[in-house]
């Protein structure tokens, strides 16, 4: 066995005549590490999800998502003021209706919970970018993302019938003042339908952020508590993407771009960083978002709460990894905390 001295001699011999290259020189000073950093994360990269509900002066804590609550519309001004103060440029709204039915009619009601929330934010004087989630799982009594047909006991979401009410929802959100709509139901043709619906009602300048590659993921569990949207039967694998597929995501994205999507999203983020990278490589000029979803949030919170990991370091590492993979925007429940840590 070679001694340490002998090993050093071997190294010296191998590098004889060459200057000594030490990568560690670039890591010796914190300011230098920042200056040579390849990926930069800031509050401006973040989008904060908000759950809004009917009622007055209520914050209903979400047990599986510590620090988050369903918030009534009258308390939104305070939420938005905090978002503004932290330099977070955008929020995405998810609504919890008072009453649910088979077609999610509250989702496109002019006085629906999201429509009222959008108006309240606009009236607060904030210039925060308002994105609305356009889907039905929170609004339907069965918890699926569209109109459900019973075909011999098998789950069938009626794609084309769902598109018609999807358009009504998107238009109603924009009429209330939404700046961006984000269709998330993974219905075929949903972007073309929403684009046509917006254009025909005079909203041709409103951009669409498409949940273009939304996977049927186990990481959505806490969200289903937060949005009260768990399916009452079956599951969503007949319309959300199979976690085994990456090339298929590229096809979904190409279709959505052809139909008029302005921005794209991959959801979830962490288990699909390879997909984020592939999408960005295929379409470098298209703004790309990734959703750091509820299960990813709750796992970090649980581990940090038990003292197993450093929450701040872990969160920032997670977010920088998402951006490094190619995301231009990150939807994350850590947005407020991350903005404070990055300030």
Find the helix or strand (DSSP H, E) in which 17 lies.
none
Catalytic residue among 8, 122, 168, 267: 267
Which pLDDT value is given to residue 142?
64
Of the listed ranges 114-128, 206-220, 227-241, the least confidently predicted one is: 227-241
Residues 6+ apart with CB under 8 A from 193: 163, 164, 166, 167
CB 73 within 8 A of CB 122: no
CB 265 within 8 A of CB 212: yes
Which pLDDT value is given to residue 222?
84
Mean pLDDT of the chain: 88
Residues 6+ apart with CB under 8 A from 210: 182, 183, 190, 191, 256, 261, 263, 264, 265
| pLDDT above 70 for 297 | yes
- As a whole number, mean pLDDT of residues 68-90 equals 95
Six token digits for residue 68: 């988050």
Which pLDDT value is given to residue 234?
55
Which pLDDT value is given to residue 8?
53
pLDDT in tens, 140-159: 776 666 677 765 556 677 88
* Res. 343 pLDDT band, cuts 50 70 90: very high
214 is catalytic: yes
* Res. 340 pLDDT band, cuts 50 70 90: very high
Of the listed ranges 88-97, 102-111, 247-256, the least confidently predicted one is: 102-111
Of the listed ranges 104-118, 158-172, 227-241, the least confidently predicted one is: 227-241
| pLDDT above 60 for 6 | no
Find the helix or strand (DSSP H, E) in which 130 lies.
strand 129-134
Cα 148 from Cα 154, distance rounded (Å) = 10
CB 51 within 8 A of CB 227: yes
Q: Give percent above pLDDT 90 in the chain.
A: 66
Cα 256 from Cα 186, distance rounded (Å) = 10
Which pLDDT value is given to residue 180?
96
Which pLDDT value is given to residue 208?
96
* Res. 172 pLDDT band, cuts 50 70 90: very high
pLDDT in tens, 179-203: 999 998 778 899 999 999 999 999 9
Of the listed ranges 32-46, 141-155, 225-239, 327-341, the least confidently predicted one is: 225-239
Which pLDDT value is given to residue 196?
96
| pLDDT above 90 for 68 | yes
Angle at alpha carbon of residue 89, lines to 86 and 94, rounded to 5°: 100
Q: Give percent above pLDDT 70 in the chain.
A: 87
Structural domains of the chain, ranges and CATH numbers in brackets: 40-342 (3.20.20.70)
DSSP-derived secondary structure for 134-198: E-STTTBTT--SS-EEEETTEEEE-HHHHHHHHHHHHHHHHHHT-SEEEE-S--TTHHHHHHHHH
DSSP-derived letter for residue 78 is: H
| pLDDT above 80 for 243 | yes
Catalytic residue among 214, 301, 323, 336: 214
Q: How far is CA 110 from CA 38, 105, 119, 172, 194, in A?
A: 46, 10, 11, 6, 17
Which pLDDT value is given to residue 258?
96
Which pLDDT value is given to residue 337?
97
- As a whole number, mean pLDDT of residues 20-42 equals 90
């Amino acid at each position: 066995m070679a001694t340490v001295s002998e090993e050093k001699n071997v190294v010296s011999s191998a590098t004889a005549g060459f200057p000594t290259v030490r990568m560690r020189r670039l890591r010796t000073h914190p300011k230098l590490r920042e200056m040579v950093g390849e990926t930069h994360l800031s509050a401006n990269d973040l989008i904060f999800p908000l759950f809004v509900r009917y009622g007055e002066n209520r914050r209903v804590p979400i047990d599986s998502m510590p620090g988050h609550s369903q918030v009534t519309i009258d308390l939104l001004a305070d939420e938005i003021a905090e978002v503004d103060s932290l330099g977070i440029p955008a929020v995405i709204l998810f609504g919890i209706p008072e009453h649910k039915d088979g077609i999610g009619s509250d989702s496109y009601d002019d006085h629906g919970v999201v429509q009222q929330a959008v108006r309240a934010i606009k009236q607060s004087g904030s210039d925060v970018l308002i994105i609305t989630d356009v889907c039905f799982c929170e609004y339907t009594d069965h918890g699926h993302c569209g109109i459900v047909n019973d075909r011999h006991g098998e789950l069938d979401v009626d794609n084309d019938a769902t598109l018609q009410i999807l358009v009504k929802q998107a238009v109603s959100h924009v009429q209330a003042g939404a700046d961006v709509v984000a269709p998330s139901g993974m219905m075929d043709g949903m972007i073309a339908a929403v684009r046509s619906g917006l254009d025909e009602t005079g909203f041709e300048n409103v951009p669409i952020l498409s949940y273009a590659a939304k996977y049927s993921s186990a990481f959505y569990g806490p969200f289903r508590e937060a949005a009260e949207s768990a399916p009452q039967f079956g599951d969503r694998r007949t319309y959300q993407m199979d976690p085994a597929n990456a090339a298929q995501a590229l096809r979904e994205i190409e279709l959505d771009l052809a139909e008029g999507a302005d921005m794209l999203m991959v959801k979830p983020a962490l288990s699909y960083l390879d997909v984020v990278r592939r999408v960005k490589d295929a379409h470098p000029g298209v703004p790309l978002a990734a959703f750091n979803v509820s299960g990813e949030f709750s796992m970090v919170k649980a581990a940090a709460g038990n003292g197993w990991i450093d929450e701040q370091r872990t969160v920032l590492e997670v977010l920088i990894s998402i951006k490094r993979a190619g995301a231009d925007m990150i939807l994350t429940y850590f947005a407020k905390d991350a903005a404070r840590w990055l300030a």
